[in-house]
């Protein structure tokens, strides 16, 4: 192994298996969707209004990231090019969260 | 904040149907696009273009696993002045690939837009027209007044708190919210929602070689020229 | 993987999953496929639902391999009735001609198939297979080169080409083909190990040094690959015996002995004692570094 | 130079044929173990090495070192079968391996070729043809063939599909537990009634 590879760029003989990355990304996406649905339903039924709803959402994002890191036994970089356990498709998650939040809030509290 | 009591009939006849309609339209669009995606007749030359582009990228990425001599011989093969495939393809006369002249290109683009924009506008308009004049639900988070005008179209009650939203806005909320649920139901790469298509267009991921081969070849050619090889093993 | 030897008493479900496994990883165990079909699956093929068509195709190809032309004929008729004008069934017919040595007629069908569907590379590969079956190795090499001009990222074709060059005893070209395979899938330890073998067979200090590098990388990817461990041992010993500068000699001797220890404890784990002590003979004694 | 007499005992004879039958689609290569007395070589057992048409140096080298350290000078030659049925030429890799063996055991090694189109179950003639190195080129040596009972024993073995238990050095490389000297297969073959010459 040539040691001359400078530490700045990643280990020079590192390369990623494309199919593995896509399947990992899909499972992350699946996890994110389920997490945001669960958070939305909870917020809706609990009738949280305003910011505590969003607090619940980001709390569940944190818990989700925690679980993912535990599953990856801490070395996240073995599975993904960069550390994105928090920021993974959070936009999508937010929209789904808001939808379900409003939906269940409407079902329980408005009608 | 006046607390309205909404007639439960709104829930059963407006609130729930909108969600169901949005979801089913997404599923419908997915299957229609599958039908319409006719087997694109890619002629051999485009395949070769695609393969050589992929080859150039592979050479750059994994070239470090080959000794210097074989890396250089391969690079030479690709970028040599007259014989290299990349250089030939780079200054190949631009065949009439521009969309205006090429009819098949036109129908492709039209079909793409048709599939995406029109259903969204039509259904939005229809919902707006049928379910106008009343509010469907209250949004649990406070909204500024600016939203009031947009979200309560057709309901011009000044005193009403802007948290109450009309059916059209609920439809748009469903549109964006259901996007990830489609992946649950229809599997990973589905064409149920049009926003994914828009994203691809913007990030250039979907530009296949036919669209602009010359630019892609030029980029690969330069990248290969500049690549200095360092045997990684 | 323990390979059962008798496939006649296997359960239907187990038979179905084995066939599926063999279909997916392209294993060539034709006789067992035919045996599985006749004794197990043929009892209720329709219960496989849609999966019966790929199974028929698999059994048909296996029947060709075992010269069971009768079984192959039945499969083709069934497939023909189900998919009247499908190119795949036509390809099976061409393979049948191949199996019965009518190479010319098979070639004409393949040429015709290539015209109708130029993007499908399996017809071109069948054409090369016919040339190989006729023993025309040089034409086969030319045909593969032609094929690779278009589909140049197909590692299966590169592997076949390197085999053919090896048969022509042209190792440098075989090395070139293997390097292509490594380029296409750098994480495949088999390509890396085979490239190491080729470099080692080429001989010469510089090639064996490259071979060692490839073996090291192959072991990094798949540490249980006995072949690369042996390769590493041989490469290091070769360098230790032939290299002139003492530092290199010392480094490769220690590396060689380390590889040897790795092999010995692999065999101890499998408690075979006879091979480890023969391997001990290959252990190099650390010559005092002469200054 | 009087022609060398080569006699292959029933067990190695059938192991060689079973090795070919286990891998019908590609050529095979293996080592011959036996004694050399005067002008007569008796092959007492055979070690299947690989089933690749183009075996590479490392696996051959390891196999020869292992077998040499176990059998010493008893290695008498190499057997091979070409992958395509009608290819009668001598396999260059087998020739090189035989030369390597004669240099290692410093006695001339023999080469046994399996005639592919005689592998049909019902064929009566001898399936093996032996060659010996005569100065520069390989000349056919005289093979002693015990005829009938070997073939009947062979058919019984093929009937019992014994070739599926055979393992060569390549399988050993895939999984170290596999014993590529095929001791238990040899016992099974010896137990086949007809084979007891």
Which member of D24, D54, D66 has the closest CB to residue C166?
A: D54
pTM: 0.76
Cα B185 from Cα B206, distance rounded (Å): 24
List the beta strands (DSSP E) in D9-98: 28-37, 40-50, 75-81
For chains C and D, CB pairs below 8 A equal 64
Q: For chain C, how many structural domains are there in total?
A: 2
pLDDT at B188: 62
- Of A55-59, B3-7, B166-170, minimum mean pLDDT range: B3-7
DSSP state letter for C134: T
Q: Which secondary structure element, helix H or strand E, spans residue D8, and what is its range?
A: strand D5-8
- Of B197-206, C120-129, C181-190, D57-66, minimum mean pLDDT range: B197-206
Segment A97-103 mean pLDDT: 89
Separation in Å, CA C102 to CA C75, C105, C109, D120: 19, 6, 11, 21
* Per-residue tokens: C170: 């042209």
Which member of A34, A98, A106 has the closest CB to residue B15?
A: A106
Compute φ and ψ for A104, nearest 5 degrees: -75, -35
Q: Determine the Cα angle at B126 with ends B10 and B145, to 5°.
A: 65
Q: What is the pLDDT confidence band of residue A8, given thresholds at 50, 70 and 90?
A: very low
Give residue for tokens 């051959």: D60
- Using the predicted structure, report yes or no on whether residue D50 has a pLDDT greater than 70: yes
Parent domain of C231: 208-285
Q: For chain A, how many structural domains are there in total?
A: 1
CA A9 to chain B, closest CA, distance in angstroms equals 13
- Using the predicted structure, report yes or no on whether residue D126 has a pLDDT greater than 80: no
DSSP state letter for D152: H
In chain A, which residue's Cα lies nearest the Cα of C214? Answer: A1
> Which chain C residues are Cβ-neighbours of A13 within 8 angstroms?
217
Compute φ and ψ for B221, nearest 5 degrees: -60, -50
Question: Which segments of chain C have a pLDDT < 50?
Answer: 1-3, 289-291
Q: Are D42 and D34 in contact (CB under 8 A)?
A: yes
Asked if the Cβ–Cβ distance from B179 to A53 is below 8 Å, we say no
- Using the predicted structure, report yes or no on whether residue B201 has a pLDDT greater than 60: no
> Which chain C residues are Cβ-neighbours of A15 within 8 angstroms?
186-187
Segment D104-119 mean pLDDT: 82
pLDDT for B141-188, tens place per residue?
887 777 777 777 767 777 777 778 888 888 888 888 887 788 777 776
- Of A15-19, D4-8, D55-59, minimum mean pLDDT range: A15-19
- Using the predicted structure, report yes or no on whether residue B44 has a pLDDT greater than 80: no
Asked if the Cβ–Cβ distance from A96 to B170 is below 8 Å, we say no
Question: Largest Cα–Cα distance in chain C?
Answer: 81
pLDDT at B189: 63
DSSP state letter for B166: E
A58 inside domain: yes
Bridge partners (DSSP) of residue B135 are B166
pLDDT at B204: 38
- C 214-243 → D contacts, CB under 8 A: 226-227, 230-231, 234
Cα B199 from Cα A91, distance rounded (Å): 13
In chain C, which residue's Cα lies nearest the Cα of A20? Answer: C187
pLDDT at B146: 76
- Using the predicted structure, report yes or no on whether residue B40 has a pLDDT greater than 70: no
A41 inside domain: yes
Q: Are B15 and B138 in contact (CB under 8 A)?
A: no
Asked if the Cβ–Cβ distance from C118 to B66 is below 8 Å, we say no
DSSP string covering D116-133: GGG-STT--S-SEEEEEE
A75 inside domain: yes
pLDDT for D82-101, tens place per residue?
887 777 888 888 888 888 88
Give residue for tokens 């022509």: C168
Task: Tally Cβ neighbours within 10 Å of residue C129.
Answer: 17
Cα A102 from Cα B140, distance rounded (Å): 7
Cα A59 from Cα A39, distance rounded (Å): 9
A27 inside domain: no
Let me know how long chain B is.
Answer: 233
- Using the predicted structure, report yes or no on whether residue B198 has a pLDDT greater than 50: no
CA B231 to chain C, closest CA, distance in angstroms equals 10
Q: Are D6 and D144 in contact (CB under 8 A)?
A: yes
pLDDT at A41: 92
> Which chain C residues are Cβ-neighbours of B54 within 8 angstroms?
153
pLDDT at A84: 76
CA C39 to chain A, closest CA, distance in angstroms equals 38
Asked if the Cβ–Cβ distance from C278 to D66 is below 8 Å, we say yes
pLDDT at A59: 92
Q: What is the pLDDT confidence band of residue A42, given thresholds at 50, 70 and 90?
A: very high
Task: Tally Cβ neighbours within 10 Å of residue C120.
Answer: 14
> Which chain A residues are Cβ-neighbours of B229 within 8 angstroms?
none
Q: Which secondary structure element, helix H or strand E, spans residue D101, and what is its range?
A: helix D92-104
C13 inside domain: no
Cα D22 from Cα D14, distance rounded (Å): 12
Domain extent listing, chain B = 8-226
- Using the predicted structure, report yes or no on whether residue A55 has a pLDDT greater than 80: yes
Parent domain of A52: 33-110
| 3-state DSSP assignment of residue D110 | strand
CA A105 to chain B, closest CA, distance in angstroms equals 7
Q: Which range is most confident: A40-49, A82-91, C116-125?
A: A40-49
Q: Which domains does chain D have, with CATH numbers?
A: 5-195 (3.40.140.10)
Name chain C's partners: 3 or more CB pairs within 8 A. Answer: A, B, D
Give residue for tokens 């292959």: D8
Q: Are C286 and C253 in contact (CB under 8 A)?
A: yes
- Of B172-181, B209-218, C254-263, D186-195, minimum mean pLDDT range: B209-218
Name chain A's partners: 3 or more CB pairs within 8 A. Answer: B, C
More confident residue, B110 or C262: C262
More confident residue, D58 or D120: D58
C48 inside domain: no
Bridge partners (DSSP) of residue D75 are D33
In chain C, which residue's Cα lies nearest the Cα of A2? Answer: C213
Cα A85 from Cα A72, distance rounded (Å): 10
* Per-residue tokens: C49: 């639902």
- Using the predicted structure, report yes or no on whether residue A7 has a pLDDT greater than 60: no
Which member of B55, B70, B233 has the closest CB to residue C152?
A: B55
- Of A27-31, A87-91, B100-104, D105-109, minimum mean pLDDT range: B100-104
Helices C226-242/C205-221 angle, 10° precision: 150
Compute φ and ψ for C196, nearest 5 degrees: -60, -45
CA B225 to chain C, closest CA, distance in angstroms equals 18
In terms of DSSP H, where are the helices of chain B?
Answer: 8-10, 16-36, 44-62, 68-79, 85-90, 103-130, 145-151, 167-177, 179-186, 194-203, 213-226
> Which chain B residues are Cβ-neighbours of C188 within 8 angstroms?
none
More confident residue, D140 or C126: C126
C142 inside domain: yes
Asked if the Cβ–Cβ distance from B51 to C217 is below 8 Å, we say no
C136 and C220 share one domain: no
Beta strands at D110-114 and D75-81: parallel, antiparallel or unpaired: parallel
Which member of B170, B188, B231 has the closest CB to residue A26?
A: B188
**Residues near C247 by beta carbon (within 8 Å), at least 6 away in sequence:** none
Mean pLDDT of chain B, nearest integer = 73
What proportion of chain B, given as a percentage, has pLDDT over 70?
74
Task: Tally Cβ neighbours within 10 Å of residue C242.
Answer: 14
* B84 CB within 8 Å of a chain C CB: no
Cα C32 from Cα C81, distance rounded (Å): 26
A7 inside domain: no
Cα torsion angle, B81, B87, B92, B94, sign: negative
A100 inside domain: yes
pLDDT at A38: 92
């Amino acid at each position: 192994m040539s040691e001359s590879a400078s530490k700045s760029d990643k280990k020079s003989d590192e390369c990623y298996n494309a199919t593995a990355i896509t399947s990992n990304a899909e499972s992350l996406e699946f996890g994110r969707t389920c997490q945001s649905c669960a958070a939305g339903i909870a917020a809706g039924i609990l009738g949280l209004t305003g910011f505590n709803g969003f607090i619940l959402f980001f709390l569940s994002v944190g818990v989700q990231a925690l679980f993912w890191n535990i599953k990856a036994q801490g070395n996240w970089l073995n599975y993904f090019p960069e550390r994105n356990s928090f920021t993974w498709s959070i936009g999508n998650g937010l929209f789904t969260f808001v939808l379900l939040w409003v939906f269940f809030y409407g079902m329980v509290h408005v009608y | 904040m006046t607390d309205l009591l909404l007639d439960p009939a709104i829930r059963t006849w407006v609130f729930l149907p909108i969600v169901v309609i949005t979801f089913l339209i997404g599923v419908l669009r997915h299957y229609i696009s599958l039908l319409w995606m006719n087997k694109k007749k890619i002629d051999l030359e485009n395949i070769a273009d695609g393969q050589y582009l992929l080859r150039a990228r592979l050479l750059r990425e994994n070239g470090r696993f080959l000794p210097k001599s074989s890396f250089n011989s391969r690079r030479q093969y690709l970028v040599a002045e007259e014989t290299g495939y990349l250089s030939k393809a780079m200054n190949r006369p631009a065949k009439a690939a521009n969309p205006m002249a090429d009819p098949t290109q036109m129908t492709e683009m039209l079909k793409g837009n048709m599939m995406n924009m029109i259903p969204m506008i039509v259904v939005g308009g229809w919902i707006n027209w049928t379910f106008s004049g009343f509010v469907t639900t209250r949004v649990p988070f406070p909204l500024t007044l600016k939203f009031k005008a947009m979200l309560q179209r057709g309901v011009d009650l000044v005193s009403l708190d802007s948290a109450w939203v009309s059916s059209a806005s609920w439809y748009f909320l469903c549109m964006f919210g259901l996007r990830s649920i489609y992946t649950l139901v229809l599997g990973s790469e589905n064409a149920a929602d049009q926003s994914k298509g828009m994203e691809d267009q913007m990030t250039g991921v979907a530009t296949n070689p036919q669209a602009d081969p010359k630019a892609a070849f030029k980029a690969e050619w330069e990248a290969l020229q500049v690549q200095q090889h360092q045997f990684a093993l | 993987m323990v390979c059962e030897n008798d496939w006649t008493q296997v359960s239907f479900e187990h038979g179905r999953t084995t066939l599926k496994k063999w279909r997916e990883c392209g294993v060539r165990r034709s006789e067992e496929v035919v045996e599985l079909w006749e004794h197990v699956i043929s009892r209720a093929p329709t219960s496989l639902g849609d999966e019966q068509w790929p199974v028929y195709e698999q059994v048909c190809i296996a029947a060709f391999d075992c010269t069971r032309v009768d079984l192959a004929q039945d499969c083709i008729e069934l497939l023909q009735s189900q998919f009247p004008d499908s190119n795949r069934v036509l390809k099976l017919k061409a393979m049948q001609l191949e199996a019965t040595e009518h190479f010319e007629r098979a070639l004409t069908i393949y040429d015709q198939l290539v015209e109708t569907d130029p993007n499908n590379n399996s017809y071109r590969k069948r054409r090369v297979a016919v040339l190989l079956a006729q023993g025309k190795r040089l034409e086969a090499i030319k045909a593969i080169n032609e094929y690779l001009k278009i589909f140049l990222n197909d590692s299966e074709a590169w592997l076949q080409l390197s085999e053919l060059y090896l048969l022509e005893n042209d190792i440098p070209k075989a090395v070139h083909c293997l390097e292509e395979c490594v380029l296409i899938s750098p994480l495949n330890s088999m390509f890396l190990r085979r490239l190491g073998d080729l470099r080692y067979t080429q001989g010469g200090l510089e090639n064996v040094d490259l071979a060692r590098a490839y073996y090291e990388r192959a072991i990094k990817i798949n540490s249980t690959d006995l072949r690369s461990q042996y390769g590493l041992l041989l490469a290091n010993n070769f360098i230790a015996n032939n290299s002139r500068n003492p530092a290199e000699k010392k480094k490769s001797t220690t590396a060689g002995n380390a590889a040897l220890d790795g092999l010995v404890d692999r065999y101890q784990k499998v408690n075979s004692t006879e091979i480890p002590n023969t391997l001990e003979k290959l252990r190099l004694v650390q010559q005092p570094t002469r200054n | 130079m009087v022609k060398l007499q080569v006699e292959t005992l029933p067990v190695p004879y059938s192991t060689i044929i079973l090795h070919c039958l286990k891998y019908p689609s590609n050529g095979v290569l293996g080592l011959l173990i036996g004694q050399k007395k005067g002008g007569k070589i008796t092959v007492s057992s055979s070690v299947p090495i690989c089933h690749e048409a183009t075996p590479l140096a490392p696996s051959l080298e390891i196999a020869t070192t292992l077998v040499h350290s176990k059998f010493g000078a008893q290695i008498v030659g190499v057997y091979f079968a070409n992958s395509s049925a009608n290819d009668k030429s001598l396999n260059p890799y087998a020739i090189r391996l035989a030369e390597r063996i004669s240099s290692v055991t410093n006695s001339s090694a023999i080469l046994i070729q399996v005639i592919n189109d005689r592998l049909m179950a019902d064929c009566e003639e001898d399936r093996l043809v032996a060659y010996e190195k005569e100065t520069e080129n390989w000349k056919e040596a005289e093979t002693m063939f015990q005829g009938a009972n070997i073939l009947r024993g062979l058919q019984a073995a093929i009937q019992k599909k014994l070739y599926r238990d055979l393992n060569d050095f390549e399988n050993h490389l895939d999984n170290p537990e596999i014993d590529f000297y095929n001791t238990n297969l040899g016992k099974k073959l010896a137990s086949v009634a007809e084979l007891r010459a």
